[in-house]
Amino acid sequence: MHTSVQPFVLFAMNPVHLPELFPPPLMTRLQQLARVDPMLVVQDFSDPAVAEALARAEVLVTGWGCPHLGAQTLAAAPRLRAVLHAGGSVRHLVGEPFWERGLTLSSAVQANALPVAEYTLAMILLAGKDAFGLRERFRAEHVYPAPTEYATVGNLGRRVGLIGASRVGRRLLELLRPFDLSVSLYDPYVDAAEAAELGAVPLDLDELLRTSDIVSVHAPDIPQTHRMLNRERLALIPDGGVLINTSRGALIDHTALTEELVSGRLSAILDVTDPEPLPPDSPLYRLPNVFLTPHIAGSLGNELARLGGTVVTELERMTTGLSPAHPVHRAELEISA
């Protein structure tokens, strides 16, 4: 989209996110590149008040809270050339009419993967030290355990199994390289050579579960992965194992997981659940072997500016005739988040 005239850009998202995604320095860069009204943020494409702006829009900058870009919306935006998404997944955003128009789609999913990988790295290392379990015990007993009770604690050679070489999974593999961990990977789309390049031993899913002290889930939520960790597979994880999920709750049978956690056989670090949030009476809120966080692994607070920066950079590329650095292709959505 190389043009000497600044393109007209329209924001489409929940307006509460706009100032965090585009703090003043980024908004200034954006306004130097395009004609954009920071006060106009669309949440409802059917609103007559936004019809004129939608008809002029050449680029939509979307984010969390943006409605689906259906056929009627696209028909009302005849000049639209590109959608730059200041978030991760775009599965909910586009459908067949979008691809039929041949529009460009870019996502900040790579930028959003970094904080998820950082969160997971921290949790793996803390889980290897049994930091959560020992904290609970220390709070209850107010004494240090005897040295002999630390025999199974530590990260030297700890077996870590990753499910999914997604963008998060790949970034996590990079972050794990400096540590003395034994890392394995299950991903049906990654062969042995690529797994080795990523720094992991390729295993099938059942073998990964049998041989991992810590299992971390990074697969997309697609029909093929729904409840992939069912009762039988959860039972394969060794006694005392830790399950980390920063992907989507639907990948795990939460009834079976709850039974495992209530029994005390496994521990879990869950940033996502099914349903989300869990009902108030869920025992997972109270179990000492469960560490729950409210879906915080992805970009939050000042990390949102990384997503906005990705969008601004993509717009810079497009206005100078370059292709987007982070395009989303139709075929990818069948196997990605």
DSSP symbol at 75: H
Q: How many CA atoms lie within 13 A of 274 on its CB side?
A: 17
Active-site residue flag, 248: yes
60 beta partners: 10, 83
Record the tokens describing residue 22, joined without a space.
């585009």
109 membership: H or E segment, kind and range? helix 109-128
Distance CA 248, CA 337 (A): 9
Distance of CA 323 to the CA centre of its chain: 24
Helix (H, G, I), strand (E, B) or coil at 151: coil
Residue 219 near residue 196, CB atoms below 8 Å: no
> Which of 149, 276, 330, 334 is the catalytic position?
276
Q: Could you give the CA distance from residue 312 to residue 308 in angstroms, rounded to a whole number?
A: 6
Among the listed residues 85, 159, 248, 254, the single catalytic one is 248
The two structure tokens encoding residue 112: 């959003």
Which residue of the set 295, 303, 306, 316 is catalytic? 295
Determine the straight-line distance between the first and last CA of the chain, rounded to whole angstroms: 27
Report the C-alpha gap between 135 and 77 in whole angstroms.
Answer: 56
Beta-bridge partner residues of 217 = 163, 245
The DSSP bridge partners found for residue 327 are 106
H helices, E strands: number in the chain: 13, 12
- Output DSSP code: residue 265: S
Q: Is 202 helix (H, G, I), strand (E, B) or coil?
A: strand
Residues designated as active site: 248, 276, 295
